[in-house]
Amino acid sequence: IKVFDVTNENDRQYIIMEYVEGQTLETVIKNNKKLPILESVSIVSEVCLALDYIHTQKIIHRDIKPSNIMIGNDRNVKIMDFGVIRDTSVTNATPTGTIIGTLSYTAPEQSLKNMDHKVDIFSLGTVLYELVTGFNPFQSTTYADTFLRIASFSPDPPSRHNPDCNGVLDEIILKSMEKNPNKRYSSAKEFYKVLTKFIESYKTANF
């Protein structure tokens, strides 16, 4: 989403952004539970392009989740809320042990000082998992249990919860959610290329 200005007034900080008519992905999920495979993958592939851009600007979003993804009435997909970004070009690292973002979408290493852009890939993979299954695999009733699930729980393949998924999509999603960041996609652009290739093959197989 376009950010026009960042300002401070009466000791309160403000981000001035464009107004977009539409609804958040969180609202879409609540209304539909889970989305068709192609729609889910297409939305996430567009988010990948946005992430690729901000990552090349040395920015890590750190709070990718359905409520921060806007689906405009024109069907354009936009990332919102740049209030907790990390600018890797400056040395203002968050203290080790501090978790920034929404826990159930947070990568295991996000509280570490040397985290990188791959935390956004983990979060986006979790969003895609939720889109095709209808639930977040890490969300639990308590903060402690959610934290434990992110650290040690391996989610089921999405196809166990949605027969429309196939083994290829299972592998794509689970790779994006690997605990070890070195086993995830190396960049949002790589994630995008894999998703677009899947879209092409899925259309061929189902239409």
Residues identified as active-site: 63
Q: Collapse the DSSP code of 198 into the 3-class scheme (helix H, G, I; strand E, B; otherwise coil) and give the result.
A: helix
Residue 173 burial (C-beta neighbours within 10 Å; 0-12, 13-18, 19+): buried
Q: CA-based angle 158:163:164, to the nearest 5?
A: 90
Q: Which amino acid is at 112?
A: L
Tokens of 158: 């999405």
Sign for the CA dihedral angle at 26, 27, 32, 36 comes to negative
**Chain length of the chain:** 207
DSSP secondary structure letters along 5-16: EEEEETTEEEEE
- Are the beta carbons of 153 and 137 closer than 8 angstroms? yes
